[in-house]
Amino acid sequence: MELATLIRYARGDKPVDLLLKNARVINVHTGEVIPTHVAVQHSRIIGLGDYEAVTEIDLENAYLAPGFIDAHVHIESAMVPPSEFARAVVPRGATTVITDPHEIANVLGLDGIRFMFDSAKYGPLSMYVMASSCVPATNMETNGAVLQWYDLTSLQNDPWVLGLAEVMNFPGVVHGDPLVLDKLRTFSGSVIDGHCPGLSGKALNAYIASGIMSDHECTTVEEAREKLRRGMMIFIREATNARNLKTLLPLITPENHHRICFCTDDRQPADLLDEGHIDFMVRTAIAEGLDPIIAMRMATWNPAHYFRLYDRGAVDPGRRADLIVFDDLQAPVPRLVFRGGQLVARDGEMAVSPPDLPDRSLRHSINVRWDRVDLAIPAAGHSIRVIGAIPDQLVTTQLVEEALLVDGQAVADPARDILKMAVIERHMASGAVGKAFVRGIGLKRGAIASSVAHDHHNIVVIGADDASMMAAARRVGNLGGGMVVADGAHILAEVPLPLAGLMSKEPIIVVRDQVDNAIRAARDLGSSLHDPFMAMSFLALEVIPSLKLTDQGLVDVDRFEIVPLWAEQPA
């Protein structure tokens, strides 16, 4: 809206499009709840008070607040593109998300990022992008694309790109890796997000001094407090497999909460549809004793201010009319959602239709020479390094266990919950296979496999026997990407993910049913994890401590180097 026109409407010279009457407005600046009316013209809030309007909606003393903002999310983890992701989160009050599309970027590079932009166009959700900084995450993996600083410059002038996404290669920053520093220099002056699990002391000082401003990987109050004291913005995360919210709530005080936001990072369809999105975090925080206004501020104004989105995040004259209406301040459940002044959701359902998938075609992304894939592990000692999976956490432990040897080979030992794990390179048909063992998945028989393996997204498979593992992995390849459960040669469940091996073309409710069926099948095989597929996908991410597996081998993240599987002495 032209400025002079906006001012005329704000003066009350002309009737506005919409007047939301009898609202109790959450003022995120003063912490007050103010009874008033809110006038909207086109996409903007024009003023608070009594205005003539073409359309009036009586809110009958319901609460009115800014729309929720997710400070950091990988939409691909919902296994649907942005247009369908909106169907899950907009009815729950999300009007803006800040996404790092590095999942699809690691498979398809800039073409993948452009696909995400196209899918979000003209939709009911504002999707801002942080330029993916870690494609690949490190040189200890094989992925489908490489984005250097000069590739990312093509994104810098896009108004929907806000800065540089999470810099996961924190050892590269601390030790001055030239390729990492080039990206930091390129985005100097912009918002730069961080990712530095467990980093402390002088190493943390070096990381922050580079210009990195935030972190969403804190798992303890002590870690988060140190980072807060160093000036970082802390994003408290509640993902499917990284549930940090309740643990970190004691961190929040009236004095520091303005430096804390909420984010979901990676959240599967069932959790989005059953629990919720940022709204779930707000309700949970309030139920655990956090002041409701502080919780609302952390979900709205704080991320807007951090990302320099000064046109939203508050119910003020001149800001975007991204608004939610709810009835209970102690348990906010949005019943009306407005984005840019348009009603986009009512009573938990979309009021508008998300756009269709873009015409942009994506190349086939599963390229495996199966004749080169060998899952056997010849015996080379008696003790093996074992990845220790931790429920609801992305970090792992490093274990050393006695290997089970059969006919000169190390094999899975389900009786001790030691399963074989393999990461099969799927981008270059190189035949590279990383092989190791993992404890904490719980399968008694069979195998699970997926083309979702953060962040390189090679085919990852865990199983109790090689035949089941190979059957599951091959089926993932035949699907063009997806999630599979197998028992021997029998396929028990599958989730086709033909879009880069990461996302489905089906509605999210269909994907949710498919994933639920796959998880049930995995549980029938013995796993008790909330989501064994999400847990498995992060066992391949070599930038989160302590022991992970890529197609290149076992990675000791603390030492940031590939280490042998066989360890006669504890690591």
pLDDT tens, residue by residue, 498-553? 999 999 999 999 999 999 999 999 999 999 999 999 999 999 999 999 999 999 99
β-bridge mates for residue 39, sequence order: 19, 47
In this prediction the pTM is 0.94
Nearest residue to 427 via CA among 468, 455, 449: 455
Could you report how far apart the first and last alpha carbons of the chain are, in Å? Answer: 63
Q: Which residue has the tokens 């003539």?
A: 52
What Cα–Cα distance (Å) separates residue 159 from each residue in 154, 477, 497? Answer: 12, 37, 30
What is the number of other CB atoms lying within 10 angstroms of the CB of residue 335? 17
DSSP 353: P
Residue 152: the pLDDT is 97
For the chain, which residues make up each domain, given as ranges? 68-313, 370-563
The residues facing 127 across adjacent strands are: 97
* Residue 159 structure tokens: 């108004």
Provide the pLDDT for residue 514.
Answer: 98
CB neighbour burial string for 211-229, b if at least 16 within 10 angstroms, e if fewer = bbbbbbbbbeeebbbbbbe
Describe the chain by its helix, strand, coil percentages, rounded to 5. Answer: 30, 30, 40
Confidence at residue 570, expressed as pLDDT on a 0 to 100 scale? 45
In the numeric block, which tokens belong to residue 254? 């009236």
For residues 256 and 239, the answer to whether their CB atoms sit within 8 Å is no
**pLDDT by position in tens, the chain (length 571):** 899 999 999 999 999 999 999 999 999 999 999 999 999 999 999 999 999 999 999 999 999 999 999 999 999 999 999 999 999 999 999 999 999 999 999 999 999 999 999 999 999 999 999 999 999 989 999 999 999 999 999 999 999 999 999 999 999 999 999 999 999 999 999 999 999 999 999 999 999 999 999 999 999 999 999 999 999 999 999 999 899 999 999 999 999 999 999 999 999 999 999 999 999 999 999 999 999 999 999 999 999 999 999 999 999 999 999 999 999 999 999 999 999 999 999 999 999 988 887 766 788 999 999 999 999 999 999 999 999 999 989 899 999 999 999 999 999 999 999 999 999 999 999 999 999 999 999 999 999 999 999 999 999 999 999 999 999 999 999 999 999 999 999 999 999 999 999 999 999 999 999 999 999 999 999 999 999 999 999 999 999 999 999 999 999 999 999 999 999 754 4
SS3 126: strand
Going by C-alpha positions, the residue among 380, 377, 374 that lies closest to residue 412 is 377
For residue 189 the two structure tokens come to: 């002056």
Q: Helix 508-524 to helix 82-89 angle, to the nearest 10 degrees?
A: 80
Strands lying side by side in the sheet with 553-556 = 547-550, 553-556, 561-563
Fold type of domain 68-313: TIM Barrel (3.20.20)
Tokens, residue 571: 């690591």
